[in-house]
Amino acid sequence: MIRKKQRVLQHIMEDVSYEIIKSQIPKHWVIREFNRPDYGIDLVIELFERVDNGIAETLGEFIYVQVKSVRELQLKQETIYEVGNVAKGVWIENKKSHTKLDVVKYPFDTTSIFTIQSLGGSVPVLLFVVDIKNRETYFVCVNDYIDKIILPQNPKYTEQGSLTFNIPAFNKLSNIEITNNALKFYGKRAKLLAAFSKFSFQKNEIKHIFGYKDYPVWTYRDEIEKGKQYEQDEIKTQLLYFISQIEDLDIWQHNEWQVLPQAKIDLETVKNLLKENEVDWGIVKDKVIVLWHQLTNLGTMYEDICREWFLPKIISLMTSYPTMPEIINE
């Protein structure tokens, strides 16, 4: 017997999931569906900032989301062992130091994981797992999960059909304090990485005009500018120009990472010193060197610590949530 066109449960659950997500995201943010057709990204969230009660303006920040729907999720407790810095070495667990963490588990297909891995770490792709019955949405950054958990543990993961993600139960959109910090942090990613690149370039130029070298490598530039000396006024002009390029970046207003507002204060201090008519050049030079070392170190801190945030790891539990975990040492 012929039947009419039918609406399957998967499509109903998808619509309900989107409705739940939209109810839990700030109303002044914009959510766009991105699934015609869907190749791994379902939603794009554009972040806005309230100007006053009636107006919000775009921040030019975006989060990409893959949405998965489950009728009901169960919390399970996992033992999380202390792990060394996976940015520097392989995954080694310290079985004598651990904590307990409530998580939700989701089996994620390796095709999707590998697709997101191919995007690199600069485009934040989040997995939203929606619990339909309890109207909760759990999230985790897939890029960071890949780099900080999957690859160090299982570099040949593509030989499997799927991998089970452990998503911290803290990471739910209804938990406003954590959600605001996390999503704003992910939305700022492209701006942060662009700033780190600019800081690195400027530091290299400053080393050159001061005549400093980190490594005993002689370059073509060293050869053609051999013996060149820069006058103080010339250096001052260059430094003030560098500061003008970075002082208005809106990363400095990201109070959720407290080192950023502090770095802006240090930047203003150096700028004011450089603009004085009579300065102790030795003091200024030292402050400039320290400042640009600190600015470039932000990129190191970001890779070393910040990309661990909101993951099921002890370092994350200690640095990205409002309460400290109970660490059990045996």
> pLDDT digits over 276-318, tens only?
877 788 888 999 999 999 999 999 999 999 999 999 999 999 9
Q: In what order do the strands lie in the sheet with 136-141?
A: 30-33, 43-52, 55-70, 125-131, 136-141
Q: Does residue 37 have a cis peptide bond before it, meaning omega lies within 30 degrees of 0? A: yes
**265 vs 259: CA distance, rounded Å:** 10
> pLDDT digits over 66-110, tens only?
999 999 999 999 999 999 889 888 899 999 999 999 999 999 999
Per the CB < 8 A criterion, the answer to whether 94 and 158 are in contact is: no
Positive or negative, the Cα torsion across 48, 50, 54, 60?
Answer: negative
DSSP character string of 78-132:
EEEEEE--TTTS---EEEEEEEEEEEEEEEEEHHHHHHHHHT-SSS-EEEEEEET
Which whole number is the average pLDDT over 164-174?
A: 96
**198 vs 200: CA distance, rounded Å:** 5
Eight-state DSSP code of residue 163: E
Positive or negative, the Cα torsion across 277, 279, 285, 288?
Answer: negative
Which residues partner with 133 through β-bridges? none
| Domains in the chain: boundaries | 1-171, 190-304
- CA atoms within 13 Å, Cβ hemisphere of 179: 16
Q: Dihedral through CA 316, CA 321, CA 326, CA 330, nearest 10?
A: 10
Provide CB contacts within 8 A for 218, sequence distance 6+: none
The pLDDT value recorded for residue 45 is 95
The pLDDT value recorded for residue 328 is 86
Closest CA to 209 of 236, 230, 234: 230
Per the CB < 8 A criterion, the answer to whether 68 and 94 are in contact is: no
The pLDDT value recorded for residue 54 is 80
The pLDDT value recorded for residue 34 is 78
Eight-state DSSP code of residue 70: E
126, with CB counted inside 10 A (0-12, 13-18, 19+), is buried
Which whole number is the average pLDDT over 215-243?
A: 79
Per the CB < 8 A criterion, the answer to whether 53 and 65 are in contact is: no
**pTM reported for the whole predicted model:** 0.89
Per the CB < 8 A criterion, the answer to whether 83 and 91 are in contact is: yes
Positive or negative, the Cα torsion across 151, 45, 70, 13?
Answer: negative
* Average pLDDT, rounded, for the chain: 89
> pLDDT digits over 187-220, tens only?
999 999 999 999 999 999 998 888 877 766 767 6
**41 vs 112: CA distance, rounded Å:** 9
